[in-house]
């Protein structure tokens, strides 16, 4: 009965939402003093398990014991009382309340969290700010500080590093290690296998709602993890897709016509004069650390905000967009990182795919001609799992992102603007998305791709620009875009790389 000494033991946990089985039968054991990774492709059931363990949703079946005793956990308060602290994928801070008021509703005060904020280099933060005004990354760290202040036996972190920059993530790893040294445990969920291997001791791997492996991570290769997560057959496909980064040569590219040109775009103090040219059939990468003006630049490109100054040219003609409608009608299609921004969560996949088509419906009531068909083709091409059919909100994150791209495929576009489209998405879906982007470029459309995943830039891009403090500070051909080179430039350190 060694299980009795386990900090947390979940057995045969199951959960279904209507026809969709989120968890078939999952086991998870976390020992005291370890950092345990929970891995799996999107839709494998990781988040569902975390939510069940923190009593946000009830399980259909299964038992949960803490310190060998069966725990009666029915609401979030019970989980906290049982020593389980969670940082959820979505921040649990109330946007309309100040940070301090947010602490107060958790029965904490300033002094409880300040030491932890200090450890994350956030001691200067003004707790009087409204949570809604604070950047997402800071909210995640605040959530972490709030969880730590309750001194939990088990700290569960669901995709906390997804929204964080490298150095912020380092603070989190440091705190995780410290937690382990105190004899407490951490359950860590991340898509970034590199950081998982570095930080974690053991891992439980879920696939399709079942635990498929419990591993000791010492000496394990990344590829072994991928295999475990995806299953043998799929891995081969993914690898095949990754092997041929069909990157075009620089000279060949510049000979092609420019489809999108930015001339000295400025927006208040956030974008400080960005100029760039995007060629037909090109995938132009853009990367930056968080908050360097990339969000605002994409808002300008998608027609959501008007620049303070500067010009935007599409196919050589000036575009002065008053709303996304103007941009879309000139063939600029935008795929945001936050899928919720783009989708109607309660409508079906097909309806969501057809939204941009509504603009074109010539009659008020029905879609014209072949458009139904185009929606069907898009579904097929994207291999979207439509079993959950009725509502897009029931789909996994990766499938939702496919829908946001798919609707542009259905309606047609010239230039695709992708803002971190693979944030928080599993490898398999990522590969499908990159595949899709290459295919799109192959047909003559252009893609501007902002991504925070530096390692993936050489795989998909032809060329990459680096943004810092609202300006383009560097340009590299894809072949030279190693993680180190990109990071150096992204920190604004590499003056030689500046244009």
Partner 1 sequence: MTASIQETLVSDSQAPWRRWARRHGWTFGVWILLLVLIAYYATLIPRFGAFQVASIVNNGTPLVFLAVGQAIIVIAGGIDLGVGGMLVLSSVTAARLMEGQPLLVALLIAVGILLAAAAINAVVAWIINVSKVPDIVITLGSLYFFQGLALAILPNPAGGANEWFRWLFTGSKTGIGSNPWPAIVMITITVTAIGWWLGKTKRGLSLYAVGSDKTAAYLSGLNAARVKILSYAIGGAFAALAGLANTAIAGRGNANTVGGNLTLNSVAAIVLGGVALTGGIGSVIAVIPAGLILFFLSPILTAMGVDPNSAQVVQGVLIVLVMAVTGIIEWRRRLRS
Partner 2 sequence: MDNRRKYLTRWLVILAVLALIAAACGGDDDEATETTAGATETTDAAPADETFVLGVSNTLVGNAWREQMICAIKAEARARGNVTEVVLQNRNTDVAGQIADIQTLISQGVDAIIINPADRSALDDVIAEADAQGIPVISVDAPVTAPQAYFVSNNQVEYGEVGARWLFEALGGEGKVAYMRGLDGHPADTDRDTGWDAALADYPGIEVVYENWTGWDPSQGAQQALEILTSMDVDGIWTSGIDYSVVEQFEVAGVDYVPIVGADNNAFIEQLMTIEGLNGAGVSNPPSIGGVGAAVALNILEGQDVPKETLLTPVVLDTMDELEGVFVPDLTAGWSSYMVIEPFVSYASPQDVIDCKGPGE
**Which residues contact partner 1 (rule: CB under 8 A)?**
56, 75-77, 80, 86, 88, 90-97, 101-102, 104-107, 121-122, 124-126, 128-129, 133-135, 137-138, 165, 167-168, 289-292, 305
For residue 310, the minimal CB distance to partner 2 (Å) is 11
361 binds, among partner 2, partner 1, none (CB under 5 to 8 A by kind): none
Asked if 263 interacts with partner 2 (CB under 8 A), we say: no
| Contacting residue, 140, 146, 305, 423, with partner 2 by CB under 8 A | 305
* The pair of three-digit structure tokens given for residue 285, joined into one six-digit string: 């990468």
Q: Of 46, 129, 34, 42, which is closest to residue 402 (Cα–Cα)?
A: 42
309 binds, among partner 1, partner 2, none (CB under 5 to 8 A by kind): partner 2
43 binds, among partner 2, partner 1, none (CB under 5 to 8 A by kind): none
265 binds, among partner 1, partner 2, none (CB under 5 to 8 A by kind): none
Which one of the spans 18-26, 128-136, 301-309, 399-407 is the region binding partner 2 (CB under 8 A)?
A: 301-309
Residue nearer to partner 2 on the CB measure, 307 or 397: 307
For residue 134, the minimal CB distance to partner 2 (Å) is 24
52 binds, among partner 1, partner 2, none (CB under 5 to 8 A by kind): none
| Contacting residue, 24, 192, 263, 306, with partner 2 by CB under 8 A | 306
For residue 106, the minimal CB distance to partner 1 (Å) is 6
* The pair of three-digit structure tokens given for residue 122, joined into one six-digit string: 């956030």
Q: Tell me the site size for partner 2, rule CB under 8 A.
A: 6
| Residues 198, 23: Cα–Cα separation, whole Å | 28
| Contacting residue, 309, 323, 329, 366, with partner 2 by CB under 8 A | 309
| Contacting residue, 70, 123, 308, 366, with partner 2 by CB under 8 A | 308
Q: Are 95 and 127 in contact (CB under 8 A)?
A: no
188 binds, among partner 2, partner 1, none (CB under 5 to 8 A by kind): none
Q: Give the 3-state DSSP-derived string for the chain, with helices as H, strands as E and coil as C.
A: CHHHHCCEEEEEEEEEECCEEEEEEEEEEECCCCEEEEECCCCCCHHHHHHHHCCCCCCCEEEEEECCEECCCCCHHHHHHCCEEEECCCCCCCCCCEHHHHHHHCCCCHHHHHHHHHHCCCCCCCCCCEHHHCCHHHHHHHHHHHHHHCCCCEEEEECHHHHCCHHHHHHHHHHHHHHHHCCCEEEEECCCHHHHHHHCCEEEEEECCEEEEEEECCCCCHHHHHHHHHCHHHHHHHHHHHHCCCCCCHHHHHCCCEEEEEEEEEECCCEEEEEEEEECCCEEEEECCCCCCHHHHHHHHCCCCCCCEEEEEECCEECCCCCHHHHHHCCEEEECCCHHHHCCCCCCHHHHHHHHHHCCCCCCCCCCCCHHHHHHHHHHHHCCCCCCCCCHHHCCHHHHHHHHHHHHHHHCCCEEEEECCCCCCCHHHHHHHHHHHHHHHHCCCEEEEECCCHHHHHHHCCEEEEEECCEEEEEEEHHHCCHHHHHHHHCCCCHHHCC
For residue 258, the minimal CB distance to partner 2 (Å) is 24
| Residues 199, 38: Cα–Cα separation, whole Å | 12
Which one of the spans 159-167, 299-307, 402-410, 460-468 is the region binding partner 2 (CB under 8 A)?
A: 299-307
Which one of the spans 99-107, 142-150, 306-314, 426-434 is the region binding partner 2 (CB under 8 A)?
A: 306-314
Phi, psi torsion values for 136, nearest 5 degrees = -55, -45
For residue 307, the minimal CB distance to partner 2 (Å) is 8
For residue 97, the minimal CB distance to partner 2 (Å) is 28
For residue 166, the minimal CB distance to partner 1 (Å) is 8
Residue nearer to partner 2 on the CB measure, 123 or 308: 308
101 binds, among partner 2, partner 1, none (CB under 5 to 8 A by kind): partner 1
Residue nearer to partner 1 on the CB measure, 94 or 213: 94
308 binds, among partner 2, partner 1, none (CB under 5 to 8 A by kind): partner 2
Residue nearer to partner 2 on the CB measure, 161 or 299: 299
For residue 126, the minimal CB distance to partner 1 (Å) is 5
For residue 306, the minimal CB distance to partner 2 (Å) is 5
76 binds, among partner 2, partner 1, none (CB under 5 to 8 A by kind): partner 1
77 binds, among partner 1, partner 2, none (CB under 5 to 8 A by kind): partner 1
Task: Give one DSSP letter per residue of 338-389, joined into a string.
Answer: -HHHHS-TTS-HHHHHHHHHHTT-SSSSS--TTHHHHHHHHHHHHT---TTT
For residue 114, the minimal CB distance to partner 1 (Å) is 15
For residue 76, the minimal CB distance to partner 1 (Å) is 4
Residues that bind partner 2 (CB under 8 A): 305-309, 320
């Amino acid at each position: 009965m060694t299980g009795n000494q386990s900090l947390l033991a979940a057995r045969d946990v199951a959960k279904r939402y209507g026809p969709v089985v989120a968890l078939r039968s999952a086991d998870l054991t976390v020992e005291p003093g370890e950092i345990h990774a929970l891995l799996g492709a999107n839709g494998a059931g990781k988040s569902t398990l975390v939510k069940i363990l923190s009593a946000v949703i009830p399980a259909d079946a299964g038992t949960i014991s803490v310190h060998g005793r069966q725990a009666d956990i029915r609401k979030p308060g019970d989980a906290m009382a049982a020593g389980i602290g969670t940082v959820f994928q979505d921040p649990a801070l109330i946007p309309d309340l100040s940070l301090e008021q947010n602490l107060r509703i958790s029965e904490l005060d300033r002094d409880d969290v300040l030491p932890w904020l200090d450890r994350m280099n956030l001691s200067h933060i003004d707790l009087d700010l409204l949570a809604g005004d604070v950047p997402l990354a800071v909210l995640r760290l605040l959530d972490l500080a709030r969880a730590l202040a309750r001194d939990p036996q088990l700290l569960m972190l669901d995709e906390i590093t997804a929204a964080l920059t490298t150095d912020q993530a380092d603070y989190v790893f440091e705190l995780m290690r410290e937690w382990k040294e105190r004899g407490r445990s951490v359950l860590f969920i991340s898509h970034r296998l590199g950081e998982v291997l570095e930080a974690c001791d053991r891992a439980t791997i879920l696939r399709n709602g079942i635990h498929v492996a419990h591993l000791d991570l010492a000496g394990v290769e990344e590829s072994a993890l991928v295999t475990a997560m995806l299953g043998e057959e799929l891995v081969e496909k993914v690898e095949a897709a990754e092997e041929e980064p069909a990157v075009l040569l620089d000279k060949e590219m510049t000979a092609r016509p420019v489809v999108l040109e930015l001339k000295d775009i400025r927006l208040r103090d956030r974008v400080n004069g960005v100029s760039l040219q995007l060629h037909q059939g090109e995938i132009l990468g853009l990367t930056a650390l968080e908050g360097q003006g990339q969000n605002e630049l994409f808002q300008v490109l998608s027609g959501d905000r008007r620049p303070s100054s500067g010009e935007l040219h599409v196919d050589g003609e000036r575009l002065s967009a008053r709303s996304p409608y103007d941009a879309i009608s000139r063939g600029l299609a935008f795929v945001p990182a936050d899928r919720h921004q783009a989708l109607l969560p309660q409508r079906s996949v097909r309806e969501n795919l057809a939204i941009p088509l509504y603009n074109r419906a010539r009659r008020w009531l029905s879609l014209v001609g072949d458009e139904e068909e185009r929606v069907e083709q898009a579904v097929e091409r994207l291999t979207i799992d439509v079993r959950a059919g009725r509502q897009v909100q029931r789909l996994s994150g990766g499938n939702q992102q496919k829908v946001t791209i798919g609707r542009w495929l259905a309606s047609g576009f010239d230039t695709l603007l992708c803002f971190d489209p693979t944030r928080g998405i599993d490898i398999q879906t990522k590969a499908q998305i990159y595949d899709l982007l290459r295919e799109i470029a192959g047909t003559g459309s252009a893609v501007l791709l902002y991504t925070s995943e530096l390692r993936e830039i050489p795989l998909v891009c032809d060329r990459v620009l680096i943004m810092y403090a609202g300006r383009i500070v560097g340009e590299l051909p894809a072949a030279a875009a190693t993680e180190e080179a990109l990071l150096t430039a992204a920190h604004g350190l590499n003056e030689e790389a500046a244009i």
